[in-house]
Structure 1
Amino acid sequence: MSEQAPPQNESPTTTVETKEASPVYRGPHSETVLATIDGFPRAQHVLPLEAQHIEFVRDAVRAADPKTPKTAYKLLTALAGFTAWALEQDLPLAPDRVLTPDRVDEYLSTGRRRDLAPGTRATLRTQLRRVARATTRTAPWPAETNFVYLRPNRFLPPYTPAQIKHYWDAASLQPTLRLRRYMTCLLVFAHGAGLRSIEIRALTAADISLGASEEAGWLVHASPRGTARGRTVPVLRRYDRAVAQLRVDRPTGALAGRYDDDPDDPLAKIRGQLRLPTSLPPLDPRRLRNTWLCEHLDRGVALRPLLEAAGVKSLRISEMLPYLQEVNATARLAGN
């Protein structure tokens, strides 16, 4: 029996297109959109990516289901830049391990991207988030309907106790004394006293003193940039030994190491050199400070002294609520 001919109303071209479609192809893309993805990068573009890395970018964008060639190309270029950065950091090109909110945040806050206009960074974040949500299964991206655009001053989630412990383990394994000292200072003063990175950079042994009572332990005096005023904050007692060792190891000069007066975050470059397990999120001083805030609220520290210790006039309590412990407050609310 002869091979059955295709129906008169079915185009042979359509049959071929369906057969050659990518296994991750999930939508009614036009031939032009697929050609844009398959032809990336264009001849005039030089990318520090090998063939398998470029294929990772193409497959991820196919999964994102762009509707137009222009959208597809924007997603391709955004992901290509992110992929090149991930390879520089020795991160595995597995979507659930690299296309996570923490990694995207780290990418957009380091290197030349820090100098981009806020709107440009927001656009990049949107593009990377779209690809990530199409290709990841376990990465903690919020649902589309619940997504809130990340503002520069958004309350970043605190670290878990297990993550803090692992950061301390990683601090002792840093390859150089400079990195070990810097990471220790970050953990002690951002998580232990709620200091900002810009306050930690100028701390010296002279800024650390013992409290008047055994109850207080070590106190750290932090001064806002460009002002003579400051505040004195108790350091968590669990870090007593680390504080004493920092003062012994660095009796003069900045405890965290040399720094430049010009940049807003001169220690960001050092932070980018830290060697951390890929299972841990990036180490962010803002998240360490937020961890300190949430822990003190959970301990029942009154709001006024906490604001004074943090050096702020208000807190975004509504954004912090998901990270605070839930307790049965019925008795307290009843006045008991």
Structure 2
Amino acid sequence: MVDRIATYQPADNTGWTEQTADFVRDLVTTTRPSSARDAHRLAAITAAFVIWGEQQDVPLVAEQLITPERLEEYLASGDRAQWVHGTQIGVRWALRRVGIANTRRAPWRSRTITPGSKTVSFPYTPDEIRLYQDAAAKQRTPARSRYMQAALAFHHGAGLHAIELVHLRGRDIETRHGRYVVHLTSVHTATSHSPSRTTIVHESYNPIVERLLRDAGDGILAHASATPTAASFTSIRKWLVYNDALPELSPRRLRATWLRDALSAPVPVRTVLDAAGLMSIDFAAVGASLIDDDPQGHLTVLASHRAAPRPGARPGNTTTGVP
């Protein structure tokens, strides 16, 4: 863990000087992270905050920089693209920990509350997904590898809820025009409280789905047991091995990443909502990371587009536009 702090540097080195690095590393060390992964997350969040502070001409003095007032200013105006390790709630939680550990005069409350898993739903970065995919094929046991590959293929590749993967069998998958279509019924959605729906797996995961189908047949795709539970999947996740620089693998965040990518695709929002089993979207987590690869072209589309119902479409229709 000490080595993780000592060697940390952000992916974007803009503003990352030797003086800044030493200051950030001292702050994180004093905060006493609980693990190498916690140390990396604290360092990433603290580095972005400190660089922001320097851009505001605040000196590298903990009592002047790391205060509740500065934190609120940062949360209101900082670069959300830097918040790859959590939501605003997670960033506030981390920087409060750093502030309490490194200041004496700043009016921090004495206790911070760890954000629950439901608040950590900010999408993963493409690099994080790539590293998870690499790790999935290198797990120490076939059972862990099978689960991790299924989680990536169906949470990130198709937007399934965590509990929906527990019940997903080979017979729920249909091959259509070289793509894998997933049919979710009340068997899958009873606990997720989503409607029955049809969605599709991103084509990049086709080789994984093909392998899972071959190995599982009509059985559960992510587990060798015929009747696994959510708890058994949670237990497997605790034993997954991957780079300490990565956040813990979260089905919720994998689904949020799928949602971000789907919303960035040139399809109607209704298509995404239906495939996700949603009536509306909370943009707080995904909004800042949405991508537009042709903003001027899309503005032109907005200027001429008029939505019109398709022939035969009915109000409340939940088809997904899957080919």
| Shorter-chain TM-score range | 0.5 to 0.7
Give unmatched runs, 5+ long, in structure 1.
Answer: 1-58, 65-78, 103-123, 137-148
Query: Secondary structure in 1 aligned to 2:189?
Result: coil
Q: 1:333 aligns with which of 299, 302, 309?
A: 302
State the match for 1:269 in structure 2.
Answer: 235
Residue by residue over 1:182-239, the C-alpha shift from the partner in whole angstroms, topping out at 9 and shown as x without a partner, is 000000000110001100011111111112x34xx11112220358962221111111
* Counterpart amino acid of residue 307 in structure 1: L
CA distance in 1, matches of 2:128, 2:29: 34
Give the deviation of 1:332 after TM superposition.
2.6
Residue by residue over 1:135-182, the C-alpha shift from the partner in whole angstroms, topping out at 9 and shown as x without a partner, is 69xxxxxxxxxxxx9576547221122211111110111000000000
CA distance in 1, matches of 2:302, 2:120: 27
* Counterpart amino acid of residue 191 in structure 1: H
State the match for 2:140 in structure 1.
Answer: 175
Query: Secondary structure in 2 aligned to 1:267?
Result: helix
For the Cα contact (< 8 Å) 2:195–2:277, is it kept in 1? Answer: no
Q: 2:181 aligns with which of 195, 219, 222?
A: 219
Query: How many residue pairs are counted as aligned between the two chains?
Result: 219
State the match for 1:210 in structure 2.
Answer: 175
Give the deviation of 1:303 after TM superposition.
1.2
Give unmatched runs, 5+ long, in structure 2.
Answer: 1-25, 46-89, 103-113, 306-323
Give the deviation of 1:99 after TM superposition.
3.6
State the match for 2:313 in structure 1.
Answer: none
Judged with a 3 Å threshold, the aligned counterparts in structure 2 of structure 1 residues 301 and 153 are, in CA distance, closer, same or farther, namely: farther
CA RMSD between the two structures: 3.7
CA distance in 2, matches of 1:250, 1:236: 20
CA distance in 2, matches of 1:133, 1:101: 15
State the match for 2:319 in structure 1.
Answer: none
Q: Is residue 246 from structure 1 mapped to residue 208 from structure 2 by the alignment?
A: no
Judged with a 3 Å threshold, the aligned counterparts in structure 2 of structure 1 residues 196 and 127 are, in CA distance, closer, same or farther, namely: closer
Give me the TM-score of the superposition, normalised by structure 1.
Answer: 0.56
Give the deviation of 1:268 after TM superposition.
1.1
Judged with a 3 Å threshold, the aligned counterparts in structure 2 of structure 1 residues 249 and 160 are, in CA distance, closer, same or farther, namely: same
Structure (1 or 2) with the larger CA radius of gyration: 1
CA distance in 2, matches of 1:268, 1:170: 18
For the Cα contact (< 8 Å) 1:100–1:132, is it kept in 2? Answer: no
Judged with a 3 Å threshold, the aligned counterparts in structure 2 of structure 1 residues 197 and 330 are, in CA distance, closer, same or farther, namely: same
Give the deviation of 1:274 after TM superposition.
0.1
Q: 1:292 aligns with which of 236, 250, 258?
A: 258
For the Cα contact (< 8 Å) 2:151–2:165, is it kept in 1? Answer: yes
Give me the TM-score of the superposition, normalised by structure 2.
Answer: 0.58
State the match for 1:192 in structure 2.
Answer: 157
CA distance in 1, matches of 2:172, 2:223: 15
Percent identity of paired positions between Structure 1 and Structure 2: 31
Judged with a 3 Å threshold, the aligned counterparts in structure 2 of structure 1 residues 312 and 153 are, in CA distance, closer, same or farther, namely: farther
Bigger relative CO (Cα 8 Å, ≥ 6 apart): 2
Q: Is residue 164 from structure 1 mapped to residue 129 from structure 2 by the alignment?
A: yes
State the match for 1:109 in structure 2.
Answer: none
Once the two structures are superposed, the pairs formed by residues 75-154 of structure 1 within 5 Å of their partners are 83=34, 86=35, 91=36, 96-97=39-40, 99=42, 129-133=95-99, 153-154=118-119
CA distance in 1, matches of 2:249, 2:158: 16
State the match for 2:269 in structure 1.
Answer: 303
CA distance in 2, matches of 1:132, 1:194: 34
Residue by residue over 1:46-69, the C-alpha shift from the partner in whole angstroms, topping out at 9 and shown as x without a partner, is xxxxxxxxxxxxx989967xxxxx
Q: 1:234 aligns with which of 200, 223, 229?
A: 200
CA distance in 2, matches of 1:261, 1:188: 20
For the Cα contact (< 8 Å) 1:197–1:285, is it kept in 2? Answer: yes
* Counterpart amino acid of residue 239 in structure 1: Y
* Counterpart amino acid of residue 219 in structure 1: V
For the Cα contact (< 8 Å) 1:196–1:285, is it kept in 2? Answer: yes
CA distance in 2, matches of 1:311, 1:101: 33
